[in-house]
Amino acid sequence: MIGQLIIEGLAIGACYGLFAIAVVIIYKTSEVVNFAQGEMAMLSTFIAFHILNYYHYPFWLAFILTMAFAILLGVLIEFLFLRPAKHPSLLGLIVITLGAEMLLMGLAGWKWGAEQKEFVVPMSYQVTHEPFPGMIINDWAIAVFITAALVMVLLFLFFKYTKLGIAMRATQQNQHAAKIMGIRVERVFSIAWGFSSLIGTIAAMFFASRSTLDPGFMLEPFLRAFAAAVLGGLMSIPGVFIGGELLGLIENFFGYVWPEWKPIVAFVVIILVLCIRPSGLFAKHYVKKV
């Protein structure tokens, strides 16, 4: 039983971790907490749903088309909504991303309605394996683990070895210096949004196949993923992923003991972590200069 709880916790934790990475990529490069992250992923997942159910394309083609749409959506939102705002305050940035969230949620509701839909992926829950006695793992969980590992490795290589990845890190460390060195900072922001939208969409597809698809289905996963990101310190990508796994485990064990209060665990964790260690479990403490 314990092994089962651990596997399920790790699987859902990996989803949180993936989505938290999407949050962190934007936060790292442009210091914006993107409240529209969940809804960007939601809209892209609806596009995948539409392609699958109305055009009956094979899943992998739909997947690739959706990824292209996700990147475009991320770039477009950055370009249309964030770039025109000149020197916005912190509150202004939050209001812009919240506005984008409402806009996307309204669009999806207008097009597909509010009723819950089933999102089917090839990796089903029904096919299970039992590598060790007492530990049942289904195809969905395996797919989550493989995707998460793949994304982590690719991101590591990207940030370490490619020109663009290094430019993104430079922008994160010092925007003005990066600009002087010839990096087009605005373009880097756009690319970061596109990237983040892509990773978020992958995570959202897993979430949607686990529960159901409706315009509000990413609201709470977003908050949980943000809790995971805060646990991991909002800065390092492996730290954030570990934060997601931790949160998944905590939630699953807590949910096993008190199933009724499972939805609240993440919020309690978020508030506790923010109170006790606002900089996260793994990050170094950051002192604000006057």
Partner 1 sequence: MDMKRDYFEDVQLFESNVVLFWSVALMLLLFAIPFFAPKYYIFLLNIVMVHVILAVGLNVLVGYTGQISLGHAGFFAIGAYGTALLMLKLQIPFVVALLFAGFIAAFFGFLLGLPALRLEGPYLAVASLGFGLAIMHVIGHWQFFGGRTGILAPPLDIGIPQLNASFILQTDAQKYYLILVVAILMVIAARNIMKTRVGRSFVAIRDSDIAAEVIGINLTIYKTLAFAISAFYAGIAGGLFGFVLGFFDPFTFNMILSIIFLVMVVVGGLGSIAGPIMGAVLITYLQYSLLKNIAEVPVLGDFLVTVSSRWFSVMGLENINSIVLGLIMIGIVIFEPLGMYGIWIRIKKYWMTWPF
Binding site for partner 1 (CB under 8 A): 27, 33, 35, 81, 84-85, 88-92, 94-96, 98-114, 215, 219-220, 223, 226-227, 230, 260-261, 263-264, 266-268, 270-271, 274-275, 278, 288, 290
Measured from the CB of residue 246, what is the shortest distance to partner 1 in angstroms? 17
Measured from the CB of residue 30, what is the shortest distance to partner 1 in angstroms? 12
Measured from the CB of residue 58, what is the shortest distance to partner 1 in angstroms? 26
Give the residue with the Cβ less far from partner 1, 135 or 268.
268
In angstroms, how far is the first alpha carbon of the chain from the final one?
Answer: 53
CA distance 250 to 13: 9
Give the residue with the Cβ less far from partner 1, 98 or 281.
98
Q: What are residue 233's phi and psi, to 5 degrees?
A: 100, 5
Give the residue with the Cβ less far from partner 1, 58 or 99.
99
> Which positions ≥6 away from 240 have C-beta within 8 Å?
17, 20, 21, 24, 228, 229, 231, 232, 233, 234
- Please answer whether residues 165 and 31 qualify as being in contact, where contact means their C-beta atoms are separated by less than 8 angstroms: no
Calculate Rg over the CA atoms of the chain: 19
Give the residue with the Cβ less far from partner 1, 64 or 219.
219
Give the residue with the Cβ less far from partner 1, 58 or 278.
278
CA distance 165 to 29: 11
Give the residue with the Cβ less far from partner 1, 109 or 238.
109
Give the residue with the Cβ less far from partner 1, 4 or 175.
175
Measured from the CB of residue 87, what is the shortest distance to partner 1 in angstroms? 9
Measured from the CB of residue 232, what is the shortest distance to partner 1 in angstroms? 14
- Please answer whether residues 67 and 130 qualify as being in contact, where contact means their C-beta atoms are separated by less than 8 angstroms: no
Q: Which residue type is seen at 174? A: N
Of the candidates 16, 14, 19, the residue with the CA atom closest to the CA atom of residue 196: 19
CA distance 202 to 73: 14
How many other β-carbons are positioned within 10 Å of the β-carbon of residue 194? 19
CA distance 246 to 269: 11
Measured from the CB of residue 68, what is the shortest distance to partner 1 in angstroms? 21
Measured from the CB of residue 73, what is the shortest distance to partner 1 in angstroms? 14
